Structures are given as C-alpha cells and as structure tokens.
C-alpha cells in the first residue's frame, strides 16, 4: 500500500463547523473596517525576496530563518530566474503596492485592510503555525495627507479595541510603547550596546549575537534566565527625542479621551525592523474556563499576542518609494479563533440545522426532487437533497439528524403538487401545496 499523504507540518485543514467561526470573525472585521472607511487590498501570496529582505530587515528572525524562499526557474528566454518568497507578513506587500500604483499621488490618506494567509518556518505549537492567517490594516500616505498625525495612531488603536469587543473577546490588554524615530533608535542602540558589554557573556547565545548586530532585539528575548538581566537595561523612553515624546503623549492623550485602556511597556520593540515611534500589541493571557477541553491551561499556549503593529515611517523609502509615513497592525486569525473557542463553550455545538430535507420516494422522482430543491434554495432556504434509492425509514433517519423538516416527494406528490411535510420538533405532518411550500418552511424555520 502506498504511504498516506498528510498536511505538511505546521499547516492544517479547517473544517466545518469551525469554518463558520472563521467566517464570522472575518465578517465582523470587514464590517468594522467599513465603518472606519477602510477598503480591501489583496496582494500576491509570493513576492520578490528582496522586498522582505529590505522591508522587514535582514537581521530579523523572520528574514534570517523563517522564510520560504526558492529560486524560481525561468520558463522562457525573456525571463530571468528570480528569488521568490512566500509572504511572511503583509505590510511590505501593501507598501510595495502603494508605491507601484502611485497611491501617494492622490494626496489622500490610504486606508487599506487585508485578510489572508502568511507563511513562516517557525517551530509549530499551539497558536503557532507555518501557514497562518492574518487580518491587518494600514493607514499610509504622504506627510501632507496627515499620515504622521498621532491621531491616526490613536484611531487605529481605538478601532482595534472596538473590533475585539465586537468579536466578543474580553480580557485583552493593549501594550503600548514608542521606539522613537530612526535617530532615536540609533542613539538607543548605542546606549544599549554599551550597557550590554558587561552582561552579555551571561546571556543566551542569541542575545550574545544580537548584542553586537542588533541590540534592540535583545529586548524580545524570551529565555527565562535572561529576563532579570534585561530588566536592568536602559529603557528606550529615556533615549527618545522631543518630537517622539510629543508624538507619543498625543497618542496616549487621545486614547485617554476615548476611554481606551492601555499599559505602557518599554520593552515592546517588536520583531520587525521597520517600526518607528508607536508600537503596540494586544495580548490575551486568559486561561481556558471550566468545561473547556483543557480547563486552566493558557488559551494561546505559549503565545499571548493576539495582534501587533506600529508605525513604519521609513518603510516606503527603504523599498525605494517616496516618503510615506504609515501605521498598521496584523492580528492572528488562528489565535482569535482559539480564544473564541475557549471562551465560547458552545462553539463545539452541532452544525446549523437545515430547513428542509427533501426525500424523493424512488429514483423516478430524483430529477423532480432536484427541481424542487432548486426552487426552495432560490427562495433562500437551506436544503439538503436526499436520494430516491433510500428507503423511507432511512430518509427519515438521515433527515432527523440534520433538518427541521422532511419533505416527501413521491409520484403522487409530484403529480398533484401537494407535498407531505413533517416538522420534527412538533411531530406534526401536513400536506402543503407546492406554491406555499417555501413560505411554510420559512415560517416554521425558526421554531
């Protein structure tokens, strides 16, 4: 026997009824984005590798070890082989599209959202996959469009608080920080590099490397033994210039006015190099409640970030575009699903019932049954079509499991146009003229 094939490690199939929840989350996100006047952008799933190397940063974990990259063969003389990469995140692609389509020339602020899969070769575990989904949005434009205003930052954060509330996710924390301008960061990097010299030999090998190449990344370290050392390092806030401080206090003042709670976290520098000024994460440290499959365990496993984002005022220039400050975020759809599944214990409930199961009595009326199903479905009903090879008993058993009604279609019913309908909840069996059938099923559909 040949070996059975399985989904690749770190990828998974999403099946109904769980996909209903995915759709609900996506629909809620789209509705919220529409109210804030965002439009949808869809960028390709793979891009030129250079986009991520230059946009996300060579030294980041994503670019240095997690990308799915391959040399794409040329198919024709006119083509050249090219290094391509499955997108590990979507901001670089959106900014590339912004530049390519000269969206800045409109002079307008661009407010774009996306929903789609991203790919990173990470170590798979609960809440962390190699193909995962992100819902994200970007606000970007030339400086004259107001894209640098701290009000944009506060508005994006307020929108996220609204979105999480509308999704029914409670118990989130907004972690907020400013990493300053490129100049502030350069200054802080020097301060940090100097402060790391005496302590770095006692840290993990990754930190020893980062201490030299990119000291800011040390603050991301999750190794427990390194945490007390990291706590003693200088804080980025003390290296911020006047402009960055004023910008950040305007963000927090607007959040205070809007009543969006936040927690200042000076260690939040995030994993991507392009961030400037405001950076943030929404975390959820919740435990699964009693009655869940594993009560008391962290809902998101070792990961507690639902979403992350920040400002990227220099990203467009880094990939060859005009000055286009922006702010955006990406939320993990897989993690939203996990959180909602753990908190809504009824998520594992039975799939939605269909309004009617049509049972043709004999294969001679199969075709007529399809015509009837078409009629009812076009009237907006959810219909399952049985098969004339089933005995009546078997049809009843099949229907009872999934449907509110069974509609029996034998030769007599077909000829007379009067159908036999049974409502499973009430047990009542009636005769209904075909012209009234859809209305009858709909009126009793919500009983």
Footprint of ligand AMP (CB under 6 A): 89, 120, 122, 128-129, 132, 134, 271, 305-308, 330-332, 334-335
Measured N-to-C along each axis, helices 205-213 and 182-196 cross at an angle, to the nearest 10 degrees, of 130
Nearer to ligand AMP, 11 or 353 (CB): 11
Q: Closest approach of Cβ 358 to ligand AMP, in Å?
A: 42
Rounded CA-CA distance 100/322 in Å is: 11
Nearer to ligand AMP, 152 or 335 (CB): 335
Q: Closest approach of Cβ 133 to ligand AMP, in Å?
A: 8
The two three-digit tokens of residue 114, written as one number? 């996306």
Q: Closest approach of Cβ 342 to ligand AMP, in Å?
A: 15
Nearer to ligand AMP, 311 or 335 (CB): 335
Residue nearest ligand AMP, Cβ-based: 332
Q: Closest approach of Cβ 354 to ligand AMP, in Å?
A: 33
Q: Closest approach of Cβ 440 to ligand AMP, in Å?
A: 46
Nearer to ligand AMP, 25 or 406 (CB): 25
Cα-Cα-Cα-Cα dihedral of 201, 204, 206, 208, to 10°?
Answer: -10
Burial pattern 194-207, b for ≥16 Cβ within 10 A else e, equals ebbeebbeebbebb
Nearer to ligand AMP, 244 or 339 (CB): 339
Using a 10 angstrom Cβ sphere, with 0-12 exposed, 13-18 middle and 19 or more buried, the burial of residue 24 is middle
Rounded CA-CA distance 342/290 in Å is: 10
Using a 10 angstrom Cβ sphere, with 0-12 exposed, 13-18 middle and 19 or more buried, the burial of residue 60 is buried
Cβ-based neighbours of 205, under 8 Å, separated by 6 or more:
none
The two three-digit tokens of residue 137, written as one number? 């949005």
Nearer to ligand AMP, 311 or 414 (CB): 311
Q: Closest approach of Cβ 47 to ligand AMP, in Å?
A: 15
Rounded CA-CA distance 342/331 in Å is: 18
């Amino acid at each position: 026997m040949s070996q059975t094939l399985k989904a690749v490690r770190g990828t998974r199939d999403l099946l109904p009824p769980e996909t209903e929840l995915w759709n609900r989350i996506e629909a809620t996100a789209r509705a919220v984005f529409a109210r804030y006047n965002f439009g949808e952008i869809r960028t390709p799933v793979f891009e030129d590798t250079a986009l991520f190397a230059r946009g996300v940063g060579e030294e980041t974990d994503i670019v240095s070890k997690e990308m799915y990259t391959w040399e794409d063969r040329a198919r024709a003389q006119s083509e050249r082989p090219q290094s391509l990469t499955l997108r590990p995140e979507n901001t670089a692609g959106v900014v590339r599209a912004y530049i390519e389509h000269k969206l800045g020339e409109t002079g307008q602020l661009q407010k774009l959202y996306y929903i789609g899969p991203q790919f990173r070769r990470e170590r798979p575990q609960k809440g962390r996959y190699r193909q995962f989904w992100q819902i994200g949005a970007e606000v970007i434009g030339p400086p004259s469009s107001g894209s640098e205003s701290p009000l944009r930052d506060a508005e994006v954060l307020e929108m996220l608080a609204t979105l999480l509330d509308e999704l029914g996710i409670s118990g989130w924390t907004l972690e907020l920080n400013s990493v300053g301008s490129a100049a502030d960061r350069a200054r802080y990097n020097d301060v940090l590099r100097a402060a790391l010299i005496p302590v770095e030999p006692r840290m993990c090998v990754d930190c020893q490397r980062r201490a030299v190449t990119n000291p800011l990344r040390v603050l991301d370290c999750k190794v427990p033994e390194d945490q007390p050392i990291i706590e003693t390092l200088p804080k980025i806030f003390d290296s911020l210039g006047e402009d960055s401080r004023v910008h950040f206090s305007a963000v927090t003042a607007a959040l205070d006015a809007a009543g969006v709670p936040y927690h200042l976290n000076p260690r939040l520098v995030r994993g991507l190099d392009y961030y400037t000024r405001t950076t943030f994460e929404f975390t959820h440290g919740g435990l699964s409640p009693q009655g869940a499959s594993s009560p008391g365990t962290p809902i998101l496993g070792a990961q507690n970030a639902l979403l992350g984002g920040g400002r990227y005022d220099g990203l467009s220039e880094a990939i060859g575009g005009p000055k286009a400050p922006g702010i955006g975020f990406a939320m993990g759809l897989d993690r939203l699903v996990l959180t909602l599944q753990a908190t809504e214990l009824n998520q594992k409930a039975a799939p939605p019932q269909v309004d009617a199961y049509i049972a043709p009595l004999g294969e001679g009326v199969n075709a007529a049954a399809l015509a009837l199903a078409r009629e009812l479905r076009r009237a907006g009903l959810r219909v399952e079509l049985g098969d004339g090879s089933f005995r009546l008993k078997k049809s009843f058993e099949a229907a009872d499991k999934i449907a509110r009604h069974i509609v029996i279609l034998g030769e007599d019913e077909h000829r007379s146009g009067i159908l036999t309908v049974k409502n499973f909840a009430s047990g009542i069996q009636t005769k209904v003229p075909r012209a009234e059938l859809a209305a009858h099923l709909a009126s009793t559909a919500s009983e």
